A and B are shown apart, each in its own frame.
Chain A
Amino acid sequence: MWIYEKKLQYPAKVGRANLRMAKYLITQYGGPDGELAASLRYLTQRYTMPTGQAKAILTDIGTEELAHLEIIATLVYKLMDRATIGEIEAAGLGAYYADHDKALFYVNGEGVPWTAAYIQSKGDPVADLHEDMAAEEKARATYEWLINLSDDPDLNDTLSFLRQREIVHFQRFGEALQIVQEYMDSKRIY
């Protein structure tokens, strides 16, 4: 089960409303390398992991990604706060507005809705953990591209925190992979 805590993992700040960045940042909400994909990937892969360490790390990182999803939602919500229709249209968000107003929805930066085709659950723990490590690197790169696109120091502070978390998760998945490989090798004694 899960229990909600009425607080963010990190103080999500934006310096000013910025629809251009909202349009780019939404991809970390519902895009291919975003936080929803990350969380759902890890939380569904954990059931068939062979060791306690791997089950734990997928559960805990999958849960942390939900906290990151909430941080991204908060940032997008704040970036779009008080925007006028004219500003929304000028930022290329008119089509988004027609479908969602300023509500949060799981799409990438081009408005393509989230799909389970972004993720995989192979049942082979070595394959799954390699996918997870690649996912963390892709998310890290996405945060770097977003920071390159942004000139808001407050926003960049929060994006830098999220970028650093991808690095830590990559490290933990790598350790879990080594543990799983050693476990599987130990099973192959004839």
Chain B
Amino acid sequence: MKSFSVTLTVLLVISLTSLLALRLHAQEGGVEVTVGNLPRVGVSISGGEATQVVSNDLRRTGMMTPVGGGTGEYLASGEASESGLTGRLTRGGSEIFNQTFSGSPRGAAHEFADAITKAITGLPGFSSSKIAFVSSATGSKELYLADIDGYNARAYTHDHVISASPSLNHDATKLVYASYKSGYLDIYLVDLTSNSRTRIVFFPGINSGPSFSPDGSQIAMTLSKDGNPEIYTMSLGGGTPVRITRTRGSETSPSWSPTGDRLVYSSDDHGSPQLFISSSSGVSEMDHLVTGNSFCTKPDWSPDGKLIAFTARVAGQFQIGVYDVASRNGHLVTTAGGQDPAWTCDSRHLVYSNDGRLYLLDTVTGHSLPIDVGLGGCGEPTVSR
């Protein structure tokens, strides 16, 4: 009886805490999503594990609550098979959409979840996105790919050298990253559909931190070939790199604006690393972003162009910060630590690492969920959009 009382007490405390929890408002695409008042979506899909996959995906957005078949204001139903899924979303009996998704069972379920997310919240869904990251689980830092829910994690490299700073293109068909495979730090282009890899940048000095432009035709990167680590862009079709920065400091981690006309990067030209924006077409004025933090690295520009996520070092610990481009203000969005943020396609969630593990952060609510890839020593994530 004693353990029953203890359990009851714990449950009561949890319930009370939940009821007293601070209510956070967010206006997203015309649909108000308040924590504690999320749209309830009944999920009932025949065949396989699609119900579970879709339910988990919806829950992970933090913007909807999946419930059993008949009790939600929305109903997501359908039939799943080995080759795909036919799914319907209805509300109060009227149909919102009816669509067929082809692919693997999990893949098709993720795409259905994305369509549901878009229809209900107005935001693009990230459930079918891929991530790439490095992990030192095997003793050397190798490159891995996975689904954004942590499933299907697999090693791409087995080089037994250090792989670093991967960047996925928009639809996860290509990846660029840096590797010491030659003994030197060079940049490689991976074609994920043909599973081929080519060394594309190998100037004297370091070649590092490559980042795909939004249209996938160029990369930005750090090269020290002219005597100092600076930012350059280069067309993937070949040609001479275009220099973007010329300072006495080091510049690293360029990230493109969504229209491709500007780059945000970190530079320590002022003493400690700070964020700057420059034109992507040549050496120009550097616009210093005052975030309120003395150490800012690894910026990532959100797909909607409004926010720049970054890593701040605060009292010796790394935290994720978000800078609002229009209002020119920054604030921290983690308290328990985090680094190397990478936005998902919805410009609200991002993937980051902390102490060797990957997490999905909802920057509106501040909630983090672990992305369990089954490996330790993980870092430098990138997300397809």
Q: Do A and B bind each other?
A: no
Q: Which residues of B contact A (CB under 8 A)?
A: none
